[in-house]
Amino acid sequence: MHLLLVGISHKTAPVELRERLDFHARGLGESVRQLTGRGSAREAVIVSTCNRAELYVACDEIDATRDDLTRFLSEFHALPASRVTPHVYGQPDLDAARHLFRVAAGLDSLVMGEPQILGQVKQAHTAAADAHTAGPILNRLFHSSFAVGKRVRTETGLGSGAVSVSYAAVSLARKIFGDLSGRNVVVIGAGEMGKLTARHMKSQGVRYITIVSRTMANAARTAEAIGGARATPWEDLDGALGASDIVITATGAASPILTRAHVDRVMRPRRNRPLFIIDIAMPRDVEPAAGEIEQVFLYNIDDLQATVRENLARRASEVTRAEGIVGQEVEKFGTWLRAREAVPTVVALREHFETIRRAELERLDFKLSALPPEARARVDEITHLIVEKLLLTPTEQLKVLSDGETITAYSEALSRLFGLTDAASQESPGTDSSRRVTPFNRSKSGPSR
């Protein structure tokens, strides 16, 4: 049995294509059921986010399944294969495991170390488990990835510090106010950056979010998009500012909309209640001199970007430690996966010895028939224990072998010596066939590296 990953991500496909390959529109459960229904994959999990659409499967044949999964990506989303195939990458066996572990750790994200991806990986596995498409191999793989994500977040600083302008604004606000719950936020402007910052503020439990725009219809649309926000006419700007604790300015105005005099007028009735202003417009919406007013905390986009750069640099220094954790967990998973290769031989060996034991008991039945039932049961128990003792050492030694080629050689030798079934000689991830060169593993510069 092999592992196989086929997919696209922000590293290989433009956003327009990634949007078209989103599996959430039809549900992860239905999607993964349709995938396994094609017959090429025995187990399957689909990881679908705004930055990736990845199919993880357990299968018998790498090449045939790879081609079928690539077709599935285009057929399921009704896209021409010529549009999808050039952007597809894939990884077999432990390379697939390494890729998933890096994804769960945030090492393969658009924003290095971002925390949301681990939850999305867990969601993907839950959907597959509910759809009964995740079996023993993918269950072990994904639970191992959860452990990687947890270790990276607790043992490194990869996820620490804000690395987007919008979230840096939230971090600064928390430094000033502490807990943001119960705070009032005003967003001046109805653009994307202001909307994103407002959403981050909302996630911190702020009390009210008010959208102010020169065009009331735009303010209303933005308020609806944020959810739970309210729109206010431009004429009521001063009232909104007076009731606010945090102001986000993100307009396209050519000159400042908040002068020092304007901010000073708003601050007079506040009785030293602090006002945090985040000016993320370019050109700036707020006169720099407004930041000189007592209890006014003014930050512009340059201040926020400096924070982002500092945090990105800090995260980059943690990458080596995170990659080391990934490597350790890949090795552990590989040991488990290779141990599975011995299972058919172990099972066949035990069945072979059990068949001999029962045949001998049946052959001697005429001699044992005179024994009382308790004695016959004791004979059955003793012979069973003898077989268990005889098999204990060879089966344990076979299970702890770490080299795939050695496992295959031992399995074939046992099969020949004891006349076992051919199950032990089937191809598995540790055999040479799993390392044959395919379009997916010819180069070591793929997305999972």
Q: What is the pLDDT of residues 96-140, one digit of tens each?
A: 999 999 999 999 987 778 778 999 999 999 999 999 999 999 999
Q: Is residue 89 part of a domain?
A: yes
Residues 101 and 154 in one domain: yes
Q: Is residue 439 part of a domain?
A: no
Q: How many domains does the chain have?
A: 3
Residues 150 and 56 in one domain: yes
Q: Is residue 88 part of a domain?
A: yes
Residues 304 and 329 in one domain: no
For residue 246, what is the domain's CATH number?
3.40.50.720
Instruction: Check whether the bond before 288 is cis (ω within 30° of 0).
Output: no
Which tokens sit at 206?
């702020």
Q: Does 334 have pLDDT greater than 60?
A: yes
Q: What is the pLDDT of residues 268-317, one digit of tens each?
A: 998 889 999 999 888 899 999 999 999 999 998 888 877 777 777 877 78
Q: Is residue 445 part of a domain?
A: no
Residues 329 and 369 in one domain: no
Mean pLDDT of the chain: 85
Residues 154 and 140 in one domain: yes
pLDDT at 445: 38
Residues 154 and 169 in one domain: no
Q: Is residue 202 part of a domain?
A: yes
- The CA-atom distances, in angstroms, between 173 and each of 205, 235, 293, 299, 408 are 13, 26, 17, 10, 60
Residues 177 and 259 in one domain: yes
pLDDT at 105: 94
326 near 102, Cβ under 8 Å?
A: yes
Residue 50 designated active-site: yes
Domain span at 146: 2-159+318-335
Mean pLDDT of 222-238: 93
Q: Does 429 have pLDDT greater than 50?
A: no
Which tokens sit at 185?
């936020």
Distance CA 384, CA 27 (A): 50
For 259, counting Cβ atoms within 10 Å of its Cβ (0-12 exposed, 13-18 middle, 19+ buried), the class is middle
Residues 172 and 300 in one domain: yes
Residues 268 and 365 in one domain: no
Residues 34 and 144 in one domain: yes
Distance CA 46, CA 30 (A): 11
Q: Is residue 205 part of a domain?
A: yes
pLDDT band, residue 84 (cuts 50/70/90):
very high
For residue 13, what is the domain's CATH number?
3.30.460.30
Q: Is residue 230 part of a domain?
A: yes
Q: Which of 50, 225, 361, 387 is catalytic?
A: 50
- CB 367: neighbour CB atoms within 10 A? 8
Residues 374 and 419 in one domain: yes
Of 324, 322, 323, 278, nearest to 301 by C-alpha is 278
Residues 148 and 287 in one domain: no
Distance CA 368, CA 378 (A): 11
pTM of the predicted protein model: 0.61
